Structure 1
Amino acid sequence: MTTPQQLRREAIRMTAHAETGHIPSNLSAIEIIHTLFMRVLKLDPERPDWPDRDRFIPSKGHCAAAIYLAMAAAGLFDRKRLDAFNVDGGEVPAILARYGLPGLEADSGPLGRGISIGIGVALAAKHDNRDYRTYVLVGDGECQEGQIWEAAMLAPTLKLDNLVVIVDDNRLQGSFVTSEVIESKLDEQFAAFGWQVHRVDGHSVEELEEALRAPQDRPKVVLATTVKGKGVAMMEHEPDWHYRRLTFSELVVSLRGLR
């Protein structure tokens, strides 16, 4: 089975080769995505559109490299198709989009929409009497979008005990520290709207899996405390790296020093 560290190494190489930014955003979410695709999601690689599959909504779409790699590792498509990552006119854009590759459930361009989409998908499961679950990945900076909280108010009213939101809480957004843009208390805010709240170490696969599998009788949010740029010393906790691209020498240093 592919390990988180293998995913991290591949994500660094893939983003560097494609000359894209958002590398630290990929690295903070590695364990979350690994846990979902390698341990939690109910999928059938032979039938990416299997009606009873679990659904994954990537609202945080700028960690596309990590998501694509995990999907390939889960057998949803051939890894070679990712050679077209960030190629103009290709099927593997750097901001995750639904066209092209099998197994993708939604586009992810505009931030803030993911929980709303997840509510619709989870509600459809109830309507169709299917037992699949819907998982939505969002960023902590993204939680400043008003649509997030409109959705957060609605989901408990609809009693969606088949909806799980994971927040990659790395405390940086774009080129800023998240709390310096808007101060928030996500644990208290989600709890106030009636969600089941779990706070975990977002780099612990065991803690993530335990929280994701925990029984629920209402919508659940897993707040995953992470480090943006995790594993690469020069990127960790450094907001300036959000849009930067790796030079060849920086790529070599990143891979040699990967922790």
Structure 2
Amino acid sequence: MLEIAHAVDSYHSRSEDRVEIIHRGQCAVIVVADGVGGRAEAAEFVIHEVKVALAKLTLPCEPVDWCSLLCDIDGALADDAQAGETTIVIAAVSANGINGASVGDSVAWLITSGGYDDLTERQERKPFLGSGAAWPVAFQTRKLEGTLLVATDGLTKFTSPESICAVACEAEIEAAVHHLIELVRPPSGKLPDDIAVALCRLSINHQESQGEQKGLARVSNLFRKFKQ
């Protein structure tokens, strides 16, 4: 039902950016985190805590539940002097839509042929998760139409939204996610920043099935009107 691809790359030996895809039934939870200050511990901590929480949560849940979870993780990170801070985007995706929450400057965009909707537009860039004062902001959309991009600022800082959207909509999702990284790779070959990116969309078969269902519904409505 869902097609998902993700990739991580770095300008040095160990990336501070993380991406994780967690499957639960017909839902996928995408987590992207960018550790602050040259440290990956907070990003790893967040992903671990989300996995633990998902073992107890019933999906689909409400956006406020993701905010509550991130507030709890913010406090736990703040209590760990070694963990540091991180950005976070968590997005739960199914055929029925997307919801989640975010802190920092990583992004979730819903990309279509007409442009993109920045689901994380209202997020608070600072304080980061792990400060003990982070302010998670929820987002939600009732339909998964197009391609969902979740990425750290290692992508969005170094190329244009137009270029990102064009590549993200490529037919082969696995190729597209690696082409996104190549968008920001300079001729030297060394990336300007760490990068983590995930793409998610409905499979072609599912899109065709939805189109057939809509067509049948229109025929049924016309038939009912004719009978009246």
Q: Same fold (TM over 0.5)?
A: no
Greater C-alpha radius of gyration:
2
Structure with greater helix share of residues: 1
Instruction: Name the structure with the higher strand share.
Output: 2
- TM-score when normalising by structure 2: 0.33
